[in-house]
Amino acid sequence: MDGAARWRILRLHVEDGIALTALARETGIGLRTLERWHARYRIDGYAGLSTGQRSDAGTHHLPAELVRLIEGLALSKPRPAIATLHRRVTRICGTRGWPVPSYGVVRSIVAALDPGMVTLALEGAGSYRDKYELVLRRQAEHPNAMWQSDHTLLDILVVGTDGKPARPWLTAIIDDCSRAICGYTVFLGAPSAMNTALALRQAIWHKPDPAWPMCGLPDVLYG
């Protein structure tokens, strides 16, 4: 595979934000290979993807267990600074008889981590879904081919029936082709099938507002 072909795949991660783990599943290319391409791209740009590069250019030769340790520490909360991480790794290497990696090698290992994995580990599943899953699901070619329901805890306070302030939830039905909101509902309490059904009912029916023409039945609905 030449550099242009590698870039066509890697561009989906660099420019479109699709996680390397997702690209590995879709393309059948190993995750480590994609991470290696990404590390070479970060160092040398497009030229780093050329087939003229050595296969081990920009890589390191460390025990696999040590690499996994560095990756695990980099994904811990709160995420340590590279200098702090390097000092911790140096101490551990001294006790286990491993070669001590340089600061630059530790930094390159951390930089090669899949952004989706970093988001999931440090920001949680909700943030991962917002940043990555919606991108992957945008594959509908025409309106109403694919809808998805999305639940968001709003950053406002309202007074509930008990007189206490609470943050409401928004459940929205989104058309994947146009990214338009087809229906929604706002409520207090946790998201439920009933609230999703109310938003879906509004999404299906014609709206009285002519400026909001979205309606119909989806071929596929993701919850």
Widest pairwise Cα distance in the chain: 72
Q: Where are the domains of the chain?
A: 1-58, 60-124, 138-222
Query: What is d(CA 7, CA 137) in angstroms, rounded to the nearest whole number?
Result: 22
Note the pLDDT of residue 118.
Answer: 84
* The pair of three-digit structure tokens given for residue 94, joined into one six-digit string: 């001294």
DSSP-assigned letter for residue 138: -
Query: What is d(CA 220, CA 178) in angstroms, rounded to the nearest whole number?
Result: 15
At 200, the pLDDT band (50, 70, 90 cuts) reads very high
pLDDT at 44 over 80: no
Note the pLDDT of residue 20.
Answer: 86
- Average confidence score pLDDT of the chain: 83
At 199, the pLDDT band (50, 70, 90 cuts) reads very high
Note the pLDDT of residue 136.
Answer: 46
Question: Domain 138-222 has what CATH class?
Answer: alpha beta
Has domain 60-124 been given CATH number 3.30.420.40? no
Q: pLDDT > 70: what percent of the chain? A: 88
82 against 2, higher pLDDT: 82
Residues 6+ apart with CB under 8 A from 150: 134, 171, 172, 174
At 27, the pLDDT band (50, 70, 90 cuts) reads confident
Phi-psi region of 138 (alpha: psi -120 to 50; beta: other; left: phi over 0): beta
| Strands of 220-222's sheet in order across | 181-187, 169-175, 146-153, 220-222
Give the CA distances from residue 190 to residues 120, 133, 166, in Å, rounded to whole numbers and listed in that order: 22, 21, 12
Residues 6+ apart with CB under 8 A from 141: 177
* The pair of three-digit structure tokens given for residue 38, joined into one six-digit string: 């990404």
Q: pLDDT > 90: what percent of the chain? A: 25
E strand or H helix at 173, and its extent? strand 169-175
pLDDT at 132 over 80: no
Note the pLDDT of residue 204.
Answer: 95
Note the pLDDT of residue 60.
Answer: 57
DSSP-assigned letter for residue 141: S
